[in-house]
Amino acid sequence: MPEFPEVETIKKGLTKYLVGRTIEGVKIGIPKLFAGVPKDVIGAKIKDVERHGKGLIINLSNGNSLAIHIKLTGQLVYDGPDVPKTVQRSKVRIGTLPNKFSHVIFTLDKGSTLYYNDPRRFGWIKVVKTTEVGNLPFFKGLGPEFNDLTIEKFAKILSSSKIAIKQLLMDQKRISGIGNIYANDSLYDSKIAPDKAANSLSSTEQKALFNSIKKVFGEGLKYGGSSELNYVNALGEDGSYQDHTLIYGKQGTKCKRDGSTIKKTYLGGRGTYFCPTCQK
DNA sequence: TGATATGTTATCTT
DNA sequence: CAAGATAACATATC
């Protein structure tokens, strides 16, 4: 799913290709996905791109911003004459551009285009004043970035609730950026059971988990994100973390540490993978 | 054909 | 009242 490593990868790509460009037009196929009016972005230059948790913000020169959340299946794909010929756009997840899921299309200067594709239409794009982005419910409720946390702050957050540790990690209001894949993998890596009460972790476990999240985030970035569903980067390329998950999606296979069969259950309505013997 | 996937938000329950 | 639990959202895919 699009979590920190995926959205950060998109942000880097968009920054490289969009900054300094001018939006010349917007074509809206599904109005629900675009809150705002085209004239508030047309003619504006793109200043920079920010990421907060799993959300993206494209700041414009006219005082407005495009606040974007791609949720499960959104894609932001740039196409233009400056895209290197060596780029292999995903055949499986995109095919041609535009395609039948290209619900919002931004026409940019120099013959380039930014496509917002979203088969499940869960995502959103909102035009708001740059100064008001922080008032949108999603950004307003967002907890601190995992990468900004020290072990001390992290430990304090964990000890604040007896909710299952996996659910706490995925609660964007407490810590932002962690979703189902990296929550499962980091808990496996640190040998902690997903349903263990967050406030019952020892300080050794807290540190192990902190380091494991850093590690799996690093791996996610290294492999360009996880494309097991619909994620692609800003140029439409697949990531490959889905081929390197530690435990996500591996139910029925053997644990690499002790050979036990990996189980799948549901915790908070979300798929949860764990080794029943080495995660305690 | 119907069960399945999930990030966020809304609503219900304790 | 707040924290936690559960349902809803949307729809392509297997």
Instruction: Express each pLDDT in A76-92 by its tens digit.
Output: 999 999 999 999 999 88
Q: Identify the pLDDT of residue A1.
A: 77
Please, which positions of strand B sit below 7 A from a protein CB?
5-10
A130 in contact with nucleic chain B (CB within 7 A): no
Tokens of A263: 């189980």
Q: Give me the CA A269–C1' C14 separation in Å, rounded.
A: 21
Q: Give the mean pLDDT of A12-20.
A: 96
CA distance A143 to A154: 12
A37 in contact with nucleic chain C (CB within 7 A): no
Q: Which of A50, A71, A270, A276 is catalytic?
A: A270
Of A75-84, A91-100, A197-206, the least confident: A91-100
A163 in contact with nucleic chain C (CB within 7 A): yes
Q: Per residue in A123-172, pLDDT tens?
A: 999 999 999 998 888 898 899 999 999 999 999 999 988 899 999 999 99
C-beta separation of A219 from A249 below 8 A: no
Give me the phi and psi of A173, to 5 degrees please: -80, -25
Task: Give pTM, 2 decimals.
Answer: 0.94
DSSP state, A26? E
Percent of chain A scoring above 90 in pLDDT: 79
Amino acid at A260: S
Please, which positions of strand C sit below 7 A from a protein CB?
3-13
User: What is the number of helices (H) and of strands (E) in chain A?
Assistant: 6, 11
Q: Which of A11, A54, A89, A93 is catalytic?
A: A54
The angle formed by the CA atoms of residues A8, A12 and A15, to the nearest 5 degrees, is 130
The torsion region of residue A99 among left (phi > 0), alpha (psi -120 to 50) and beta comes to beta
A2 is an active site residue: yes
The whole-chain average pLDDT of chain A stands at 93
Residue with tokens 């494991």: A212
Q: Identify the pLDDT of residue A164.
A: 92
Q: Per residue in A222-271, pLDDT tens?
A: 999 998 889 999 999 999 999 999 999 898 899 999 999 998 888 888 88
A109 in contact with nucleic chain C (CB within 7 A): no
Burial A126-163 (b: 16+ CB within 10 A, else e): bbbeeeebeebebbeebeeebeebeeeebbebbeeeeb
- The three-state secondary structure class of A121 is coil
A264 is an active site residue: no
A249 in contact with nucleic chain C (CB within 7 A): no
